[in-house]
Amino acid sequence: MSWHLGRMAALDFESSDKDHATARIVTCALILISGGLPTDTRTWLLAPGIPMEPEAIAVHGITDEYAAEHGQPANQGVMEIVTALSEVVAAGVPIVGHNIGRYDLNLLCAESRRHLGGPLTETIPDAGDRMRVIDTMVLDKQAAPYRRRVSETQGPYQMRTTAETYGLAWDEAAAHGAEYDALMSARAAWRMGQIAHLRHQDRPEWVRRLRTQRFSSLAVGLDELHTRQAAWAREDAIRFQAYLRDPAKAGDKHDPAAVIDPHWPLIPHQQDGDL
């Protein structure tokens, strides 16, 4: 069975800031979907224990006071999330999310280290070997490269752009909630998988007009798709680092010392070795 037709575990977090190494989980959604089985949704609200960045509050709308009053203790919530994800990995269900290999899984890895005493490769048995990830940002960049920004505030591969590219209606009022974003990532993954498994002549016209025809590279088994995403993410990181270091190309974003970690889906911690 093609990977997009199987069971998926859509995962998304809203957090206290945008740096996965320092951020704390505020909300989490884990949605088991597709595969011919009923949808199963679990959500968490945590008290992060630190003040949130104002920019983060503006995105998800949860204040420090609300999280402190209504959220469960962070250590308890992280334990429950890691346990739930461990069950997903043990069942061989892929974890789906948008930019999940650069942010969400690494946020959870840092929280696991912080509250449970070790990274996900230790707190989820055999995670390094058995975890399979479908990252819709990685897939979208591979399948439909060279997309331009929609506007000054909407980037070419952010969740809304990806969703709308694949024909999904976007509700901005509901967006940036973990449950909504997780569900949209699973739907986008399904759309990409569906296109990849069509004959070229049967694909949407906008796909047939792309400068490069890469959708067929997604039409592989789940294990191979995971391996390919790691390679695509590494290549993208190398290109972005070179861009940032080039003053002629980067302009005001130029950073001669820029370092973009090429690892995916788990970025090594300096004491963990290679994950």
Average pLDDT over residues 244-261: 93
Q: List the domain range (segments joined by +) for residue 121.
A: 3-253
**What pLDDT, on the 0 to 100 scale, is given for residue 117?**
95
Please tell me the total count of domains within the chain: 1
Average pLDDT over residues 167-192: 94
Q: Which two tokens stand for residue 167?
A: 């024909």
Q: Which residues of 10-30 are buried (b: 16+ CB within 10 A; e: fewer)?
A: bbbbbbbbeebeebbbbbbbb
List of long-range contacts for 203-209, beta carbons under 8 Å, 24+ apart: 207/144
**What pLDDT, on the 0 to 100 scale, is given for residue 100?**
98
Average pLDDT, the chain: 94
Q: Is 138 exposed, middle or buried (0-12, 13-18, 19+ CB in 10 A)?
A: buried
Average pLDDT over residues 98-102: 97
Q: Which two tokens stand for residue 136?
A: 């819709």
Confirm whether pTM is higher than 0.85: yes
Q: Is the pLDDT of residue 1 over 80?
A: no
Among the residues of the chain, which ranges form H helices?
54-60, 64-70, 74-90, 105-116, 120-123, 127-130, 136-143, 159-165, 178-196, 205-208, 222-245, 247-250
Q: Is the pLDDT of residue 256 over 70?
A: yes
From 83, 76, 103, 101, select the one nearest 14 (Cα to Cα).
103
Residue range 16-39, pLDDT digits in tens? 999 999 999 999 999 999 999 999
261 within a domain of the structure (yes/no): no
Q: Is the pLDDT of residue 274 over 50?
A: no
259 within a domain of the structure (yes/no): no
Calculate what percentage of the chain has a pLDDT beyond 90.
Answer: 91
**What pLDDT, on the 0 to 100 scale, is given for residue 42?**
98
Question: In which band, very low, low, confident or very high, does the pLDDT at 270 lie, cut at 50, 70 and 90?
Answer: low
**What pLDDT, on the 0 to 100 scale, is given for residue 24?**
97
CA angle 16, 19, 21 (to 5 degrees): 100
269 within a domain of the structure (yes/no): no
For residues 218 and 197, give the distance between their C-alpha atoms in angstroms, rounded to a whole number: 8
**What pLDDT, on the 0 to 100 scale, is given for residue 234?**
97
**What pLDDT, on the 0 to 100 scale, is given for residue 272?**
42
Q: What is the domain-level CATH number for residue 61?
A: 3.30.420.10
272 within a domain of the structure (yes/no): no
Q: DSSP letter for 3, please.
A: G
275 within a domain of the structure (yes/no): no
**What pLDDT, on the 0 to 100 scale, is given for residue 273?**
38
Q: Is 46 in contact with 78 (CB distance < 8 Å)?
A: yes
**What pLDDT, on the 0 to 100 scale, is given for residue 255?**
95
Neighbouring CB atoms inside 10 A of 114's CB total 13
Give the DSSP H/E element, type plus range, for residue 157.
none
